[in-house]
Amino acid sequence: MGGTGAARAVLLVLDALGPEFVEPGGMPWLARIADRGAMAPLGGLAELVASTGPCHATLLTGAPLGAHGVLANRVFAPDGTVDSDPRVALPTILDRARDHGVPAAICVSDPDILSTVNARGADFAWPRTADRERICSPPPKYMPDDVTAEALQRAITSGHRLIVGQLQAVDTAVHAHGIDAVETRAARKRIDDIVGALAAALERDWRDTLFMIVSDHRAENIVDRRPVRLAAEMAGMADVIEDGSAAVVRPREGKLAVVLERTCALEGVTGMSPLDNRHLVAWCEPGRAFGREGSVKMAACHGNLTTRPCVAVVAGGHPALESAAAEVLRAPPSQRLWPRLCADVLGV
């Protein structure tokens, strides 16, 4: 195998893919890549709230939610309103690469991620507005994964040394159809084929590459469509932002004790924990979701404790693989591990 001699770190996020689906019968390419390196046997450990925004923020900063500030997909703004576009308050591995003159690319099917991790200034940040408009008008919420894969291929052949990718289709399918519906199985198959194609594109420089394949969270089917009405229970005591089967709770002055007591006593809630000095996270029992009016419409969701297991695979020919594999096999790796591995490989 040839190679340029320039170290390369590739971090690919397969949105909402549970580690239980990485097996030869369903995802043969990913299973084969794991065999060439290592895979955490029970998966890695996502953040709590286990959702796209907060987990990608951690995956690229290496910091916990309370430090980077993206507590959930929506957060409370300083003026008390809800901010639907939270952004990390810390530098990311993309920023560190830029500061050290390392060419970096990020290609995502969910364009909101570019905002969440302040990535639009990367050497190659995809999609741009023009890319989205070219796909269709009005622009889609998510880019097709095969088009994102083409952008990732361009990043590889262009010699970017840090490449971050995100593929969306599994997350979209599980919300609409459930975790093992025909549509979701097809989405996993398509993503597995993309993983195989990306591995083939990396083969030329395999000995210089650390290839990390992860997910931001897993998902679980909704089995009880009655919403867990935490916001109603907290009226006058706390403000609540629901995020699937997790919720961010901001107690009002002097109300912490009663918020803890009444939240943990609410039917459908199984736990509560601090996120930072102002906010708590509450989570549902498996198969439930938080909501306010009407029944839960999603077929599956995530956010709670049991959706934290996530894919954690390392491969490649870079010398860092040996120590990375040891960390992945020793204990379920936190999502805070991956930016450090990228930094070690790239010397940033």
Q: pLDDT in tens for each of the 348 residues of the chain?
A: 345 579 999 999 999 999 999 999 999 999 999 999 999 999 999 999 999 999 999 999 999 999 999 999 999 998 889 999 999 999 999 999 999 999 999 999 999 999 999 999 999 999 998 888 888 778 889 999 999 999 999 999 999 999 999 999 999 999 999 999 999 999 999 999 999 999 999 999 999 999 999 999 999 999 999 999 999 999 999 999 999 999 999 999 999 999 999 999 999 999 999 999 999 999 999 999 999 999 999 999 999 999 999 999 999 999 999 999 999 999 999 999 999 999 999 999
Q: What structural domains and CATH numbers belong to the chain?
A: 8-221+303-346 (3.40.720.10), 230-297 (3.30.1360.40)
pLDDT score of 140: 85
Nearest CA to 242 out of 189, 286, 296, 290 is that of 290
Those residues with Cβ within 8 angstroms of residue 337's Cβ, 6 or more apart along the chain or in another chain: 44, 62, 327
pLDDT score of 132: 87
pLDDT score of 133: 85
DSSP secondary structure letter of residue 102: -
Global pTM exceeds 0.75? yes
**Kindly report the CA angle at 306 between 232 and 116, in degrees rounded to 5?**
75
Q: Residue type at 215?
A: S
